[in-house]
Amino acid sequence: MSSQHQVDGHTLTLLHNGGEYFPRLISAIDGATHSIYLEAYIFAADATGRMVSEALQRAARRGIMTHLLLDGFGSAGLPHEWESELHSAGVEVLWFRPEIARFKLRRHRLRRLHRKLAVVDGHIAFVGGINIINDIPGGQIAAPRLDYTVAVQGETVARIHAAMRRLWMVVSWTNLHRQREHPKIKLAHPNETQHKIDFLLCDNLRHRRDIELAYLKAIGGAQHEIIIANAYFLPGMRFRRALLHAARRGVRVALLLQGQVEYRLQHYAMLALYDELLGAGVEIYEYHASFLHAKVAVVDGYWATVGSSNIDPFSLWLGREANLVVCDAGFAESLYASLLHEMSHGAHPVAKASWRKQGVWAHLLARVSYAAVLFLTSVFGYARGREGDV
């Protein structure tokens, strides 16, 4: 169930899966009076996509400036007819790195817009990991995907709004589109002083490591417990060492990871880390109740993060990501309670002894997959971009 919290002058509502998120998002869109910005990695042509599309069209028809920014790879399956409907209603649609030569391996093609953000009227924002896609049980999905979004009201919304407007302008200029509005936008830099709420970006440019560094700082200062739920968990050496050091100094480290195979290469690559993690006393739980899509963490019952960033090379090195960090016991407790419930009722613990009894081919497959992921990331994606390089 969703939970509301008052934190540092903000109202934060923790939303669980699409069942809680989409009604809130559509209600906000229907209540818009001035502007809407929505960013999505996946905008699926399904019942949920239809509901969101129709809400955006309703808003545009009543004169609301409505902006939809889609990733050119994740949303490549959106039919041309859907985009035409949006345009006809007055919705402005832009594509981040549209896939022109889909089957060619290009150096920059792994840099994707992976953020899942929305801001309505500069008053309410949504930050999380939920794509615009059906979250209704049936077919492959036995239960809703495990994922989270935070509805935010308060001064941090202005920073989220500025970040979205700035990217919209950059993509517009890149695609040779004209702006309907020409706002003066202040860049959304992270605050130097410690606040209870922070909005963090990863953009392969100035904010290349902001999200990773926030994780490392929280893990390094942990005294009691670290709980991380992450869909695609392939941390680099520095991140792994931070977790291992925490476990060895007596901090409980528990990872809730993908148990169902969704993307084979990433899944088997993740398994290559099990020996090292389990050997250091890190607890691993594999989620089987449905697909795990969450990118969240709780440290010492006080520090929490919810967002779009996986802990893997694609998110931490290449993608445009956005996470909300909240330092508040009440908010952290709500997220913590949800994760504990999922670990107890929807996941299976991985025992060190049973994992090590896996056949040699299973371990070899994991290591080869891990090497392949690193190769793809370094050769086809890991390159510094320019300010206007989207």
Nearest Cα neighbor of 162 from 62, 37, 41 is 37
Amino acid identity of 175? N
d(CA 85, CA 81): 6
Spatial contact of 179 and 169, defined as CB atoms under 8 Å apart? yes
- Exactly one of 203, 295, 312, 328 is catalytic; name it: 295
Spatial contact of 388 and 170, defined as CB atoms under 8 Å apart? yes
From the number of C-beta atoms within 10 Å of its C-beta (0-12, 13-18, 19+), residue 172 rates as middle
- Exactly one of 198, 203, 300, 312 is catalytic; name it: 300
d(CA 219, CA 263): 28
DSSP secondary structure letters along 73-117: TTTTTS-HHHHHHHHHHT-EEEEES--SSTTS--TTTT--B--EE
- Exactly one of 121, 196, 245, 389 is catalytic; name it: 121
**Strand blocks (E) in 171-234:** 197-202, 225-230
- Exactly one of 116, 123, 161, 207 is catalytic; name it: 116
121 given a catalytic annotation? yes
Helix (H) or strand (E) segment spanning residue 95:
strand 92-96
Residue 279 DSSP symbol = H
295 given a catalytic annotation? yes
- Exactly one of 5, 16, 67, 114 is catalytic; name it: 114
67 given a catalytic annotation? no
d(CA 258, CA 6): 32
DSSP H helix total and E strand total for the chain? 12, 16
182 given a catalytic annotation? no
Look up residue 259 and give its two tokens: 């148990």
116 given a catalytic annotation? yes
Cβ neighbours for 144, distance < 8 A, ≥ 6 positions apart: 17, 18, 19, 135, 136, 137, 290
Active site residues: 114, 116, 121, 293, 295, 300
